[in-house]
């Protein structure tokens, strides 16, 4: 029973992390489509890189959809 609880707890945390990344991506793209930010340069900080599950640069680019920002410096 404890194994099942721990498994579902880990699954819930993974789902929450995925949801937060998707929400961050959507909000980032929404903000960058605003007229006030049309010419803004984007700087992405990847903190907590010392943690075991930290995303590398390629994963961050993919998850945030940065490759779609062709007319912007980042």
48 is in an annotated binding site: yes
Long-range contacts of the stretch 52-60 (C-beta < 8 A, 24+) = none
Distance, CA of 52 to CA of 39 (rounded, Å): 35
62 is in an annotated binding site: no
Cβ 48 vs Cβ 54: under 8 Å? yes
47 is in an annotated binding site: yes
71 is in an annotated binding site: no
Report the binding-site residues.
Answer: 47-50
Report the binding-site residues for GTP.
Answer: 47-50
């Amino acid at each position: 029973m404890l194994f099942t609880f721990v498994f579902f707890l880990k699954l819930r945390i993974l789902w929450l992390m995925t949801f937060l990344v998707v929400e961050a991506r959507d909000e980032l793209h929404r903000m960058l489509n605003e007229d006030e930010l049309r010419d803004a340069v984007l700087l992405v900080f990847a903190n907590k890189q010392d943690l075991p599950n930290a995303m590398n640069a390629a994963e961050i680019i993919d998850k945030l959809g940065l490759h779609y920002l062709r007319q912007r410096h980042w």
